[in-house]
Amino acid sequence: MLLGEVCTRACRFCAVPTGNPGGIVDREEPVRLAEAIAELRLSSVVLTSVDRDDLTDGGASIFAAAIRETKRRLPPVKIEALIPDFSGNDSVLQTLIASNPDVIGHNIETVRRLSLGLRDPRAGYDQSLHVLERVREISPQTITKSSIMLGLGEEREEVLQTMRDLRSVGVRALTLGQYLPPSHAAAPLVATFIQMNSRNSRTKRGSLGSASSCPARWCAAPTTPHRRFPHAQADHRSSSGRSRPRPGAR
């Protein structure tokens, strides 16, 4: 996680401290990060950050420097940049994209109905879609990725509509994560994740497209079950990519 431990936003599902970092930035962070990744000889890595609305570029220049330095030291490494929305600023997005990450992720977090009550007022459902769409338009070769947390009170059809919305802006990879409240003060858990049964899954896959009609392969041809939502996976990560502690865990 880049750019410190204090986030300028206050989403109700997140445990990261909220505050004003006062524009303080560690300019050596990209080098130290790249050194660690190269020393570990990682084949892939996810870089994420807190929101930094106190910075003119939202921290995109530090993000981009970390990507460039990592690729310079370890050229084979695959890098996913899990980014904030940068307030939808197009020139800032271009700064990040120019560093050439292999995947750019930005999480829509939840369904439209719940977004306003759960996310910081400076974030938004439509702004997240806009960011993902602009990444695709600026750099069509870059894989775009998003994530939806489950268990916050969303309805099944709302999740499917969110998936359709993501697909409509060209998102090529999707994760569905079980929400686990990080504290008693966080948004409460409404339900645990219940997987769709195979019959309903087949029906809904057809409504979202197929491998033959969708180059992103959101849905699979019947003869290749392993390609079903090829980039999709269920995880227990937060919107920022950080692992969520289970309730009561230290």
- Around Cβ 62, how many Cβ atoms within 10 Å? 22
- What proportions of the chain, in percent to the nearest 5, are helix, strand and coil? 35, 15, 50
Q: Please give the domain boundaries of the chain with CATH numbers for all domains.
A: 29-185 (3.20.20.70)
Backbone φ and ψ for 237, nearest 5 degrees, come out as -105, 160
Residues 6+ apart with CB under 8 A from 225: none
Dump pLDDT digits (tens) for 149-199.
999 999 999 999 999 999 999 999 999 999 999 999 999 999 886 543 333
Spatial separation of the C-alpha atoms in residues 47 and 80, rounded to whole Å: 6
3-class DSSP assignment, residue 146: strand
DSSP state of 243: B
**β pairing state of 143-150 and 233-235:** unpaired
In this prediction, residue 187 carries a pLDDT of 97
Dump pLDDT digits (tens) for 17-65.
999 999 999 999 999 999 999 999 999 999 999 999 999 999 999 999 9
Spatial separation of the C-alpha atoms in residues 79 and 129, rounded to whole Å: 22
- Global pTM value: 0.80
- Per the DSSP assignment, residues forming a β-bridge with 105 are 82, 145
- What is the overall mean pLDDT for the chain? 84
205-243: b (≥16 Cβ within 10 Å) or e? beebbebeeeebbbbbeeeeeeebbbbeeeeebbbbbbe
Q: Kindly report which listed range (108-112, 123-127, 194-198) carries the lowest average pLDDT score.
A: 194-198
Q: Which two tokens stand for residue 239?
A: 């919107």
3-class DSSP assignment, residue 105: strand
- Per the DSSP assignment, residues forming a β-bridge with 233 are 175
3-class DSSP assignment, residue 171: coil
DSSP letters along 42-91, please? -SEEEEEB---TTSTTTTHHHHHHHHHHHHHH-TT-EEEEE---GGG-HH
Give residue for tokens 């600023």: 89
Q: How many CA atoms lie within 13 A of 86 on its CB side?
A: 29
Dump pLDDT digits (tens) for 42-54.
999 999 999 999 9
- The more confident residue out of 203 and 215 is 203
- Per the DSSP assignment, residues forming a β-bridge with 143 are 103
DSSP letters along 128-165, please? HHHHHHHHHHH-TTSEEEEEEEESSS--HHHHHHHHHH
